[in-house]
Amino acid sequence: MSEDRATPGGRLLTFAAWSVLVLGLWLWGKEITGVPSGPQAGQGGGPVGAGMPAAHAPMSGAMPARIDVPSIGVQAPVISRGLDSQGSIDPPPYELPGTVGWWGAGAAPGAAGAALMVGHVDTKSKPAVFFGLATVKPGAKIRVARADGTIAEFTVEDVKTYERTDFDPKKAYGPRVGGRAELRLVTCGGNYDKAAKQYSANVVVSAYLTGAGVRSGTAV
């Protein structure tokens, strides 16, 4: 990788716009995002594509500890992140390129809503945790080990690259099916602009909960 890379605060280039929207969505009511409140939020289900597994009912909330994306060889620790001084979701420290950040003010992975996880695509000298994210295919599995000893298993439904010039954060990151537990993995994508020190797009992997278990692998 080129030595001329962006600073940590500028790498997830569309999150400044997204964080302003998502903060309002979560603090001012989940109904805005299409996620019902109350008992309905635990029903799960909803339409899925042909040949895709049925959605699993959402789990109770629990902090993520590790994420595994077997198709690209990722096994990474997860840390909670907030907003930086510019109002963007703060990615993991640049010195921890193998770590994934979870937006702790949003949905927990496995709970109803869309949980957001972000990671760097590269560093000044080598690939980072989500370097291969754009190559993930629909149907691939993602597993999130949670702090309560449970595992949330997600199935990827699509992988999209959203250009900065034509970006709709609600469409990219907002929940797609009311009451469903969903996951978004996000990193930089597109072309790298050396002058602007930023990428032209974001890669977004969208997945939904299809299984739940405990650390021993027993389904729940």
Q: Among 16-20, 38-42, 198-202, whose mean pLDDT is lowest?
A: 38-42
Q: Distance between CA atoms of 25 and 196, rounded to whole angstroms?
A: 30
pLDDT at 53 over 80: yes
pLDDT digits (tens, 9 = 90+) for 155-174: 999 999 998 777 787 888 88
Confidence band for 219, pLDDT divided at 50, 70 and 90: low
Residue 194 is predicted with a pLDDT of 78
Across the range 1-13, mean pLDDT stands at 41
pLDDT at 66 over 80: yes
Residue 148 is predicted with a pLDDT of 96
| DSSP state string for the chain | --S----HHHHSTTHHHHHHHHHHHHHS-GGGGT---GGGGG-------TTPPPPPPPPPP--EEEEEEGGGTEEEEEEEE-B-TTSSB-PSPTT-TT-EEEETTSPPTTSSEEEEEE--SB-SSSB-TTTTGGG--TT-EEEEEETTSEEEEEEEEEEEEEEGGG--HHHHHS-SSTT-EEEEEEEEEEEEETTTTEEEEEEEEEEEEEEEEETT--B-
pLDDT at 103 over 70: yes
Across the range 37-46, mean pLDDT stands at 38
Which CATH topology does 8-214 take? Sortase; Chain: A; (2.40.260)
Of 35 and 122, the one with more pLDDT = 122
Locate the domains of the chain by residue range. Answer: 8-214
